[in-house]
Structure 1
């Protein structure tokens, strides 16, 4: 081989070596792209396991007086009190009721719990708001929220106790500070959840900070008969959801392992594509605040039953629009004004 040929061969070899890292990088990018594509395809397919049911629009009431709401999408989240795991639209009271409001531009999220014992109008019949789901399924439950808060909710999701336990287990548990004042009640509910969901989640021996598993976390969110009653319980429910969301957001692929078990336990009127778009946006969502409705209320006995009477519904609804949409001096609808007067009359204040 001549010197010129040798020089050319060495130059070609060096050139190949210089290109090699770039080729490896391109191959890696292609492999990652294929894996991501396969993962997303799998997620989209799995989302089809969710029970999707369209709402009867003739039964759905919305209120669109607040023009600021056009910048937000509002959802209703129901956790039903099903001791058997049933997902029936009728006969199950909503143990947890949360309005989820998402700013369409910023993806900022605000949560508003509605206390289950709140005395409101359910299509003209006055009772605790948690009865609405039991009496008329999601159509009546959503319409009740819309009529009493002047909202335009059209989308919802319903889950039972089992799914929340599964999700907490999937993300590796959530860290919670357990106060001594709730320890006895918490342990009682842990036993209850072991019976309902199955499992052997241990009871806690003392107050402190724990990483709670699924049954323990759901038990924590169900505690009611302690200081703060329903208000404190709704706060714990929002705390659990916030911590689940934060952990799932850090590693959403962890959820893949339990999707087949979790998703059939969800009922919603959102389409597979809508849910997939929400999954793709998970890193954009940020829970900015979480509060409870009504902010001001009185616990009063009415015909032998304790209710939470808003003081007043009108003032609390105005505050809800300020909190969720930044609306100042919101003017409530005529129907809400009538409901407000009826509640004032019955509460006697």
Structure 2
């Protein structure tokens, strides 16, 4: 399972598909020379595109019925300090570019879900990145959820914070019981960065700085892990919407700050063509959200003394496929949805 890195960078925390978004205005009105220069700054990683290496069931996807629907894995590692890389993928989302129905979709997969990881048996999904990096994580998701993911995007934690500041912040409705946790994480980040924390003064809808928005997305102790992933999706959606409205003259500055910190297996050709498609069809303002497992189709359990989420595989995969593809792909192609 070879991975050829052109540049090595440690990546942390929440993942975003900003690779596409920061280029929207550029592909609409800036020269191709600028686009190519911007894309050359991305930290590109080559991974195998062989379905067998990526765990794609060729019986399910052999007739290419899903070619108008691209699925890209967004992932990152939760590390408070960029010098202390843990290797665990804290948050994982599937970005679906649905050209058939002209939609963008985000599906969160809970990190503590029990999956079978090749060579390691039953484990939490989050451990797959530690065992084999992005390629093994893609293979694990494809094999356990009967998906057809071939590429990924990963962005640095502190880059996400800077991205939000560069676009002028994002508006989020903060609940009263979330305030103290946002402020706590802000103090923690400020100590690492040796700066003054951006603390909140109260709850309610408000524009958050990068430090505050990332702190909000990191909250673990208000509600369940399901609510945590919902907060992450709210931040991503807010970034989508803000970038879609960014003035074209501001895009070069944002792109130059972001792209050197983005790691992706996507080709420059795919990024530019998809950015044009998303821009021209106005998809950034219509991001549909989803998460797996679904209510009533999971239970809490333990493996090796660790708390895990056990899930009804057949029913969850059916609902997941219905959301992503508009139908249960595995059923229509007689593919298996079980290990």
In which range does the TM-score fall when normalised by the shorter chain?
0.7 to 0.9
- The two structures have a TM-score, normalised by structure 1, of 0.78
Matches within 5 A, 1:321-340: 321-328=321-328, 330-331=330-331, 333-334=335-336, 336-338=337-339
Between 1 and 2, higher relative CO (CA 8 Å, sep ≥ 6) is seen in 2
Aligned equivalent of 2:40 = 48
Q: Which runs of 5+ in 1 are unaligned?
A: 1-34, 339-349
TM-score, reference length from structure 2: 0.81
Residues 1:225 and 2:226 aligned together = no
Distance 1:238 1:252, change over 3 A: farther
Question: Contact conserved, 1:52 with 1:269, CA < 8 A, in 2?
Answer: yes
Contact kept? 2:165, 2:210, Cα under 8 Å: yes
1:209 shift after superposition: 1.9
Following superposition, the deviation at residue 37 of structure 1 comes to 4.1
Q: Deviations over 1:29-60 (max 9, x none)?
A: xxxxxx9444x532331121001111034642
Relative distance call for 1:288 and 1:176 in structure 2 (3 A) is closer
Give distance in 1, aligned partners of 2:122 and 2:156.
25
Q: Deviations over 1:111-164 (max 9, x none)?
A: 100011111111152111111112101110000110111111101111121121
* Secondary structure class of the residue paired with 1:62: coil
Deviation, structure 1 residue 244: 0.3
Answering whether residue 239 of structure 2 is matched by residue 244 of structure 1, we say yes
2:55 alignment partner in structure 1: 61
Aligned partners of 2:107 and 2:289 also within 8 Å: yes
Q: Do the aligned residues in 2 keep the contact of 1:76 with 1:97 (CA within 8 Å)?
A: yes
Task: Indicate the residue corresponding to 1:171 in structure 2.
Answer: 167
Matched position secondary structure for 2:161: helix
Q: Which residue of 2 aligns with 1:94?
A: 89
Matches within 5 A, 1:1-349: 36-38=29-31, 40-57=32-49, 59-64=53-58, 65=60, 68-85=65-82, 91-123=86-118, 125-196=121-192, 199-228=195-224, 230-251=225-246, 253=248, 254-283=250-279, 284=281, 285-286=283-284, 287-295=286-294, 296-310=297-311, 312-328=312-328, 330-331=330-331, 333-334=335-336, 336-338=337-339
* Structure 2 residue matching 1:262: 3-state secondary structure: helix
Is the CA contact 2:237–2:287 (under 8 Å) kept in the aligned structure 1? no
Offset from partner CA, 1:174-216 (integer Å, 9 cap, x none): 1111111222222111122324455434211322222101111
Tell me the secondary structure at the aligned position of residue 87 of structure 2: coil
**What is the number of residues matched between the two proteins?**
298
Task: For residue 70 of structure 1, give the secondary structure of its aligned residue in structure 2.
Answer: coil
SS in 1 for 2:143: helix
Q: RMSD of the TM alignment (CA)?
A: 2.4
Question: In structure 1, what is the Cα distance between the partners aligned to 2:124 and 2:314?
Answer: 17
Q: In terms of mean alpha carbon deviation, does 183-192 or 140-149 score higher?
A: 183-192
- The verdict on how the C-alpha distance between 1:71 and 1:271 changes in structure 2, with shifts beyond 3 A counting, is closer
What whole-Å deviation, never above 9, does each CA across 1:9-28 have from its counterpart, x for those lacking one? xxxxxxxxxxxxxxxxxxxx
Q: Which runs of 5+ in 2 are unaligned?
A: 1-27
Distance 2:36 2:188 in 1: 35
Tell me the secondary structure at the aligned position of residue 127 of structure 1.
strand
Shift of 1:328: 4.5
